Amino acid sequence: MRAFPVRLPSGVGYWTVLDEDLTVVAVADGFLRQLRFGRDGAESTTKSYAHSIALFLRWCAGTGRSWQAGVEQLGLFMVWLAHAGPSASAAGARAGAGVVLPGPGATPARGARRVNGVLTAVRSMVVHAVAAGQADGRLVGLLYEVADDRDLPEAAREAGMSWRMRARHRVHEPERPVGRAGDGDIVAVLGACRSARDRLIVLLMARAGLRRGELCGLRRADVHLLVDSRPLGCPVARAHLHVVRRDASPNGAWAKSRRERVVPLDRLCVTAFDTYAFERMSVPAAAAGDFVVVNLFRGRIGAPMRPDAVGDLIAAASRRAGLARPVTPHQLRHAFGSNAADAGCGIDVIADLLGHASVTSSQVYVHPDPGRLRAAVDAVPSPRELAGVTS
């Protein structure tokens, strides 16, 4: 069982799952197509879900179970998932009898977050299969606890009778501070960049919070650097850019947010855009074209950069800067969210700037960091001061 990309004639793609005979697994393919086209999910989301479902189906095949029987024994799959490393769980590896794995108590091969992500994909596939008539409805009851609100306090009840569902299988994820790039690390990476384009890429993630897919999908028409953009038909004042979701981008870029959003740009970003414009004009093959971030030094000159190339670029700059651990693009985005929270922005503002569908996704940024906690304790007067004792 393996995840496999599918590209349609229109250029739009999604990921599916193939079995050992390279035949499409119908139950997985139906769900992944529905996720991509019926629910307008990102291609990258189908990729993640396809890899997770392939893991589950690989375990089912290796242990001699149908996928329906595997759902009935999801607890066993969780143990295997946590402790089966690449040698036991990769495509082509033996997942069943004869393979001895360390069990609970040993260092897990996958963290709680990864295990929960795989379980989410499996549950979603099963629910879709039940809705499509491909599986017995009793499987949903094996995955979720379904209850009404009669056991809740009266203040917590909805008007009339309401129902709630809770996943039966889930690993506890310890709450950890968001992994952000430090301000010193960002400055070091900027200093290690070798071109104006690379500095612009770092700033758009660290000062505007763009994701890699959003950055690589930017078009020139999305960027408004004028004081007044009304002549362009845009009512938004001052420098800003528009994050727009588009299908079939030639570089695989994809804006995760379905809703278009406006991101203001500060002076550093505007200056970086200006510098990059002169650099790009000096490369004749890259001067034209609609995409903002394009290849200037390698590959097909003038072609839009791929999101994966952005990660490689940041990692290389981190090594040149001498950082102990390379900075990742998402850590730069986290730095923007954390800095906005530290500056006093409300969670609703942070959610809108980062393109979160729910403010709960932005909650991680409003937890005080250790420095602010220390400052709060130091600001509390001593008991002698509170009592007015002067000597």
Q: Would you list the DSSP string of 253-303? A: ---S-SS-EEEE--HHHHHHHHHHHHHHHTSHHHHS-SBSSB-SSSSSTTS
370 found inside a domain = no
Give CA–CA dist 350/354, Å, rounded: 6
Q: Which of 344, 343, 361, 364 is nearest to 352 (CA)?
A: 361
Tell me what percent of the residues of the chain surpass a pLDDT of 90.
29
pLDDT for the residue numbered 159? 57
Going by pLDDT thresholds of 50, 70 and 90, the confidence category of residue 346 is confident
Encoding tokens for residue 284? 């004749």
Instruction: Give the span between the Cα atoms of 222 and 290, in whole angstroms.
Output: 10
**Which of 106, 129, 150 represents a domain boundary (last residue)?**
150
- Inside any domain, residue 333: yes
Residue 160 pLDDT more than 60?
Answer: no
274 in the same domain as 216? yes
237 in the same domain as 146: no
Taking residues 111-118, report their average pLDDT.
88
**How much is the pLDDT for 151?**
62
Integer CA distances (angstroms), 327 to 29, 183, 248, in order: 35, 11, 29
118 and 237 in a single domain? The answer is: no
d(CA 125, CA 131): 10
In angstroms, the CA 274 to CA 70 distance is 57
Residue length of the chain: 391
pLDDT(390) > 70: no
Say whether both 206 and 275 belong to one domain. yes
- The C-alpha atoms of residue 366 and residue 168 are separated, in whole angstroms, by 30
State whether 77 and 201 are in the same domain.
no
Q: Indicate whether 131 and 187 sit together in one domain.
A: no
> Does residue 274 surpass a pLDDT of 90?
yes
Q: Is 116 helix (H, G, I), strand (E, B) or coil?
A: helix
The more confidently predicted of residues 100 and 181 is 181
Give pLDDT, residue 28. Answer: 94
Q: How many domains, in total, are found in the chain?
A: 2
CB proximity list for 32: less than 8 A, separation 6 or greater: 14, 15, 16, 17, 46, 49, 50, 53
State whether 231 and 108 are in the same domain: no
Q: Is residue 95 within 8 Å of 61, Cβ to Cβ?
A: yes
Mean pLDDT of 140-155: 72
Does residue 169 form part of some domain? no
Residue 197 sits in the same domain as residue 314: yes
Q: Percent of the chain, pLDDT > 70?
A: 86
Q: How confident is the model at residue 47 (pLDDT cuts 50, 70, 90)?
A: very high
Do 137 and 199 sit in the same domain of this protein? no
> In what order do the strands lie in the sheet containing 223-224?
223-224, 240-243, 261-264
Domain for residue 22, yes or no? yes
Same domain, 211 and 253: yes
Domain boundary among 131, 150, 169: 150
Q: What is the pLDDT of residue 119?
A: 92
Is 11 part of a structural domain of the chain? yes
116/82 Cα distance (integer angstroms) = 10
Strand partners, 144: 167
* pLDDT score, position 378: 85
Instruction: Tell me the pTM.
Output: 0.73
Domain membership of residue 267 as a residue range: 183-365
**Alpha-carbon distance 114 to 332, whole Å?**
22
For residue 173, being part of any structural domain is answered with no
Question: Which has more confidence, 281 or 85?
Answer: 281
Mean pLDDT of the chain: 84
Q: Measure the CA–CA gap between 305 and 197, rounded to whole angstroms.
A: 11
The winner for highest mean pLDDT among 79-93, 172-186, 300-314, 349-363 is 300-314
Residue 376 lies in a domain: no
What does the pLDDT read at residue 27?
93
User: Residue 135 to residues 37, 69, 126, 131: CA-CA distances in angstroms?
Assistant: 22, 11, 8, 8
User: Is 64 a residue whose pLDDT tops 70?
Assistant: yes
Task: Report pLDDT digits (tens) over 191-247.
Answer: 999 999 999 999 999 999 898 888 988 999 899 998 888 888 889 889 999 988 887
pLDDT score at 347? 79
Residue 70 covered by a domain: yes
Q: Where are the beta strands (DSSP E) in the chain?
A: 2-7, 13-18, 144-148, 163-167, 223-224, 240-243, 261-264
- Provide the CATH number for the domain around residue 268: 1.10.443.10
- 84-88, 89-93, 282-286: least confident range: 89-93
pLDDT in tens, 280-331: 999 898 888 889 999 988 888 988 999 889 999 999 999 999 988 888 888 8
The CB density around residue 68, as the number of other CB atoms within 10 Å, is 17
The verdict on 192 and 333 lying in the same domain is yes
How far is the C-alpha of 74 from the C-alpha of 28, rounded, in Å? 17
Q: Which of 133, 150, 167 is the last residue of a domain?
A: 150
At 179, is the pLDDT very low, low, confident or very high (cuts 50, 70, 90)? confident
Count of CB atoms situated within 10 Å of the CB of 157: 14
Between 27-31, 114-118, 132-136, 346-350, the lowest mean confidence (pLDDT) is in 346-350
Verify that 239 and 140 share a domain, yes or no: no
